[in-house]
Structure 1
Amino acid sequence: MRILLVGSGGVGAAFTAIAARRDFFEKIVVADYDQARADKAVDALDDDRFVSAQVDASSADAVATLCRDHGVTHVMNAVDPRFVMPVFEGAHAAGADYVDMAMSLSRRHPEEPYARVGVKLGDEQFAVADQWESDGRLALVGMGVEPGLSDVFARYAADHLFSSIRDLGTRDGANLAVHDEDGNELFAPSFSIWTTIEECLNPPVIWEKARADEPDGGWFTTPPFSEPEVFEFPEGIGPVECVNVEHEEVLLMPRWVDAERVTFKYGLGEDFINVLRALHDVGLDRTDPVQVASADGPVMVSPRDVVAACLPDPATIGPQMTGKTCAGLWVTGVGKDGEERETYLYHVVDNEWAMREYGHQCVVWQTAVNPVVALELLANGTWSGAGVLGPEAFDAVPFLDLLREYGAPWGQRDS
């Protein structure tokens, strides 16, 4: 297996640190628009299986050329979701298989954005699934932690724990905090603010089986931050208020797992929600460029890119961060024994452990470990397939077993 990793930011760099301890691949080309950042990720490893390269992720041709130059068999996409389609198309053009952790972007319904779906997450990729299948190529989409591990949990619950499922509810929460040298808590998101804004300010999507015969096939939307609930997270994190957020699980799980309702709720916290609302109110969540005066004359800049540039790089805040992060799936329904059942399948990572063991903060480490596990399963033939497939399309047990071997045990809480 020869892998092209597109993107060497927080998640990409964590991916290399995790993969370096495994032997399932021959070569990983670490590519970034910023050659120096790719060099830094490779130099940190002292492993001649890794080489760096420069690539423009907005160009499918550039991705395809790099694949051909290095004999790449698998493209691993670790850049912002705005670049999903060119990286996805570049992999296909080069005859490589493809893995990502976020899917092609959605577009709101033009008349009823808070009731009906428009273009859904992943629609552009699923539109060409037949072409990938006929070419014998695999695009494994949504294979991070959320989406990714949460979707593996859905497959596991359906196959081994439940005879019928009412709710598949992804629930994500943490007790993380970032402090400056004086002990003051900072506003410093632990994941890409560009992606966070995209997810949290778009209309959240929900799926209900009872609405499957409606024009949108069971999917519908609500206003941002809807249906708040307090969810009790395990391993000392405790209660966190969670709200509906647009996320790929809701678009993936109903395609392969039978359930009555599918949701995604994120424990953002009141302060974070207020910041996001303020960004939206003044237009700083926009991605289309605006003209700004400068000493050298007018320049065009994206407001969201400015916000991202002003905040700390998530890859650098690990030493200032404390706490744990939890990703998981809450499932209700009827168990295999015919009795009512409620189960939370989860994965918790302590930042102190992630920094000590890998030198990467817990959120990016937790995201990155899952595609490494998936690629190892593809390399040894345990997982295989063709077309555009989500994690739910594969046997969950080998994945969960290998995740434990990586030193990342998952948990199960039954109510």
Structure 2
Amino acid sequence: MKKNVLIVGAGGVAQVVAHKCAQHNDVLCDIHIASRTVSKCEKIIASVHEKKAMKVEGKLKAHALDAMDVAATRALIEKTGSQIVINVGSAFVNMSVLSACIETGAAYIDTAIHEDPLKICETPPWYANYEWKRREECEKAGVTAVLGAGFDPGVVNAYAALAADEYFDEITDIDIIDVNAGSHGRWFSTNFDPEINFREFTGQVYSWQDNEWKSNQMFEIRKEWDLPTVGTQTTYMTGHDEVHSISQNMGIPNVRFWMGFGDRYVQVFTVLKNLGLLSEQPVTTAEGLEVVPLKVVKAVLPDPSSLAPDYTGKTCIGDLVKGKKDGKDREVFIYNVADHEEAYAEVGSQGISYTAGVPPVAAALLIAKGDWDVKKMVNVEQLPPQPFLGLLNEMGLPTRLREDEEDRALKF
């Protein structure tokens, strides 16, 4: 059944989502893009037309929207007849957009956990602070809400489910590894919204080890991995959304997240944090102006979407899974490698945006076709992974598996 789609947000990830929806508008039908700045939506639409991404003739329209306004979001969903909402706006708007979906019956998809602008790194498991409190509300309304359907969280959750379904009888450890081995040529920049990026790393690093929460400081625990294509890379144990759902939903004793950081990022982050410039709490300047230091830092850094034309290199993101199969120890690495230049050539965005933006469109297609239209709130690991990963193989994010000396593409 064809479904109309509303995309909330107009950043680099939204651009990928719009292109991929357009490439599948024989199923997703009318496509609407909404943001506080309508000119950003119009720029994305121009890019879609420039790339001739529309599979069939159809509607692609821009709208102005403050997504924190539930009534306005509900009205736009109703006006556009949208049956699926893909929320790739700020993490601060998740609960507002979800509310509008519950009120209208539209399916809801997001790519990151909800955050309160004035709170950093809340009590684990993070999903229990906002999203999971609304499970009953979604099920009562018969609303499908797929949480964290980007790459991480999202695809890595599906990798965990695939490992449990097909490769292990018992899983003891999942180490999620995210490395960007690309270069954008700037002295310093974050690859996505600087405010959200820095907020991820200024609080405690929560990991799930020996069936309980462990806490460390950022950049305290370092590890090197030998990865396909990108080689040996330095990573640090980091707090991340999927640790908080996989650990609770799959009953795995050890779930950790590792992200690659270069020396410059570590140095800049450390200086900014020590100066108090990564604080989310308002301060008053000598002139009497109230400002949020983190928002000032965001304002002076490059817009992540501007990095795309000069980006080179590749990303490698995957799950290193350990456990037992048929009574024997087993270890596999299920992963994807994405290319920044290929992403830019196809959709005009860099690889980080590409890996985050393609999966929610695959999720939308599965909801439209009924495979994932479960009429309740779920995280990705609670859904069948094979149809999702099969679609991603076709849509530009193929899955591979490395085990011992073997490295092969997976077919679904």
For 1:153, the aligned partner's letter is Y
- 1:31 maps to 2:24: no
- Picking from 271, 277, 282, the partner of 1:278 is 271
Alpha carbons 1:74, 1:97 under 8 Å: kept? yes
Instruction: Report the AA paired with residue 224 of structure 2.
Output: V
Match of 2:318 in 1: 328
Q: Distance in 1 between matches of 2:168 and 2:235?
A: 25
TM-score (norm 2): 0.90
Alignment-derived partner of residue 49 in structure 1: 59
Answer yes or no: is the 8 Å Cα contact 2:223–2:235 preserved in 1. Answer: yes
Q: Shift of residue 122 of structure 1?
A: 5.1
Answer yes or no: is 1:364 the counterpart of 2:365. Answer: no
1:53-85: CA deviations, max 9, x gaps? Answer: 011122222211211221221211111212222
- Any unmatched runs of 5+ in structure 2? 405-412
Residues 303 and 109 of structure 1: is their aligned pair in 2 closer, same or farther, counting only changes over 3 Å? closer
Residues 314 and 248 of structure 1, relative CA distance in 2, 3 Å threshold = same
Aligned residue number for residue 106 of structure 2: 96
The answer for the alignment partner of 1:190 in structure 2 is: 191
What does the per-residue CA deviation read over 1:82-131, in whole Å, with 9 as the maximum and x for residues that have no partner? 22222222222222221000112279999xx8xx9367245211011111
> Post-superposition shift, 1:302?
2.0
Could you list the structure 1 runs, at least 4 aligned residues long, displaced by more than 6 angstroms after superposition: 106-110
8 Å CA contact retained: 1:80, 1:194: no
Runs of at least 5 residues in structure 1 that lack an aligned partner in the other structure: 180-184, 212-217
1:299 to 289, 294, 302: 289
2:158–2:385 Cα contact (<8 Å) kept:
yes
> Which position in structure 2 is the counterpart of 1:402?
391
Q: CA deviation at 1:357?
A: 2.3
Hey, what's the Cα distance between the residues in 2 that align with 1:13 and 1:352?
16
Q: Quick check: 1:325–1:348 contact (8 Å CA) kept in 2?
A: yes
Partner of 1:14: 16
Give 1:377's aligned amino acid.
Answer: L
Pairs within 5 Å for 1:33-182: 33-46=36-49, 48-105=58-115, 117=123, 120-121=126-127, 123-179=129-185
Q: What is the CA–CA distance in structure 1 between the aligned matches of 2:402 and 2:395, rounded to whole Å?
A: 21
Determine the structure 1 residue equivalent to 2:407: none
Alignment of 1:173-322 (within 5 A): 173-179=179-185, 185-208=186-209, 210-211=210-211, 218-235=212-229, 237-292=230-285, 298-322=288-312
- Residues 106 and 82 (structure 1), Cα distance of their counterparts in 2 relative to 1, 3 Å cut: closer
Secondary structure at the counterpart of residue 200 of structure 1: coil
Between the aligned partners of 1:52 and 1:145, the Cα distance in structure 2 is: 26
Contact persistence 2:105–2:142 (CA under 8 A):
no
> What TM-score, normalized by structure 1, do the two folds share?
0.90
Do 1:75 and 1:96's aligned partners in 2 also have CA atoms closer than 8 Å? yes
Q: Does structure 2 conserve the Cα–Cα contact (< 8 Å) formed by 1:100 and 1:142?
A: yes
Contact 1:373 1:399 in 2 (8 A): yes
Give the conservation status (yes or no) of the 8 Å contact 1:109–1:119.
Answer: no
For 2:394, give the aligned amino acid: E
Between stretches 264-273 and 156-165, larger displacement belongs to 264-273
- Greater Cα offset, 16-25 or 99-108: 99-108
Separation (CA, whole Å) in 2 of partners of 1:225 and 1:21: 40
Q: Which amino acid aligns with 1:334?
A: K
Q: CA deviation at 1:292?
A: 3.7
Q: How far is 1:293 from its partner?
A: 5.9
1:121 and 1:321 mapped to 2: Cα distance? 33
Q: In structure 2, what is the equivalent of residue 215 of structure 1?
A: none
Q: Does 1:393 align with 2:375?
A: no
Structure 2 vs 1, CA of residues 346 and 51 (structure 1 numbering), >3 Å: closer, same or farther? same
Q: In the alignment, residue 351 of structure 2 is paired with which amino acid?
A: C
Using the aligned pairs only, state the percent identity.
28
> Matches of 1:303 and 1:36 in 2, distance apart?
27
CA distance in 2, matches of 1:107, 1:259: 31
Q: Report if the CA contact (8 A) 2:124-2:206 is conserved.
A: no
Aligned partner (choices 1, 4, 7) of residue 5 of structure 1: 7
SS in 1 for 2:324: strand
